[in-house]
Amino acid sequence: MKSADDALDFNPYEVLGVDKDCSDAEIVKAFRKAALKWHPDKNPDRKQFAQEMFLKITRALEVLTDAAARAAYDHVCATRSARKIYVQRREQRESENRRKLREELERREASGFTAQQNELRAQAQLQKEIERLRKEGSEMLRRECENIEREIHRKREAFGAAASSSAQGEYSGAEGRLRLKWKRGLNNCDYDETKLRSIFEKYGRISTLVMSPGGKATAIVEFVNARDALKAENETGNPNNPLTVSWLSSRPDSQSPRCSSNMHTTQQPATGRSTTFVNGVGCASASQFADFEAEILAKMMSGSKKKGDGIKSKFDDI
């Protein structure tokens, strides 16, 4: 036997026009009224439809007047209604979730677009600042290059003057020259022209102090009086980075007349004159310093006869 849900493809309550809570008497009364309305003999113009309706009200009467069948049908209706409500709520939740997901997606897309726009604006601002710095930096670089050129020119002129004076015999008094050596950066202690002058000026007047180019830890100091150089030959400087002092030429005799207090009577060197060698465009290189030192030694070996002879040095053209 088919279930009430399978056997009926219509709602018996609606066919008879009664409520779900109606009594059997109300069902029978409704059936009689509907039977008179849909009897085929009373509907000759639509006899087929009337027959179908009469069959439905007959089956509705059978189901609704039988307690078990009516209860089964009511249960089917209740479960169908509950399922419909469940489906509606699920669809509502799904619709709400879809709406939230859509809104979240739109929010993320908007946020991503905003972030992209912010990044583009930041990149544009960075490019703008880079262009500004390039322009300002170019101007600053131009000024710094001009300053460096002026400094190089000044150094070149100073070195040229020193070389020229050497060619004219100012360095003929080699007895007062000492070579200084030390270890670069030993114990975080180093020497520069200022420190070396501070150390050796206590022995006497210094006519020239020449720093080696290229960062070499060597220098040459010349005293106005050779006697002062003799007093300075045992100087060791800073104990953390001792100085090694040696004679640029042979050590003079302390009893020699040339070690008198007025060693240069005809020509007084300028006190405190110094020439610092630096590596750079237009400045003396390390090889020039070595050549300069070799020239001094050669002149010392040839004696003081060349003084005033107008010997030309290759440093005159620097």
Query: And the tokens for 125?
Result: 């601002």
| CA angle (181, 186, 191) in 5-degree steps | 50
CA distance linking residue 120 with residue 128, whole number of Å: 12
Is residue 290's pLDDT more than 80?
no
- The pLDDT of residue 306 is 46
CA distance linking residue 166 with residue 292, whole number of Å: 9
- At the second CATH level, the architecture of 172-304 is 2-Layer Sandwich (3.30)
Give pLDDT tens digits for 237-273.
888 889 999 998 878 776 655 555 444 433 344 344 4
Reported as a pLDDT band with limits 50, 70 and 90, residue 206 is very high
- The pLDDT of residue 98 is 82
- Does 23 or 6 have the greater pLDDT score? 23
Helix (H) or strand (E) holding 179: strand 177-181
Is residue 156's pLDDT more than 80?
no
Is residue 182's pLDDT more than 60?
yes
197 close to 276: Cβ distance less than 8 angstroms: no
Domain at 4-65, CATH from 3.20.20.140, 1.10.287.110, 3.30.465.10, 1.10.300.10: 1.10.287.110
Residue from 144, 160, 143 nearest 282 by CA: 160
Q: Which residues contact 13 (CB under 8 A, 6 or more apart)?
A: 19, 20, 22, 60, 64
- The pLDDT of residue 110 is 84
Give pLDDT tens digits for 40-63.
888 888 889 988 988 998 998 888
Query: And the tokens for 160?
Result: 């040229």
Q: What is the mean pLDDT of the chain?
A: 75
Domain ranges of the chain: 4-65, 172-304
CA distance linking residue 12 with residue 16, whole number of Å: 6
Give pLDDT tens digits for 89-137.
888 888 888 888 888 888 888 887 788 888 888 888 888 877 777 777 6
CA distance linking residue 223 with residue 4, whole number of Å: 132
Percent of the chain with pLDDT over 70: 70
Name the least confident of 35-39, 219-223, 278-282, 299-303: 278-282
- The pLDDT of residue 113 is 78
Query: And the tokens for 1?
Result: 């036997």
- The pLDDT of residue 244 is 92
- Is residue 206 classed as helix, strand or coil in its secondary structure? strand
- Same topology for domains 4-65 and 172-304, yes or no? no
**DSSP annotation of 116:** H
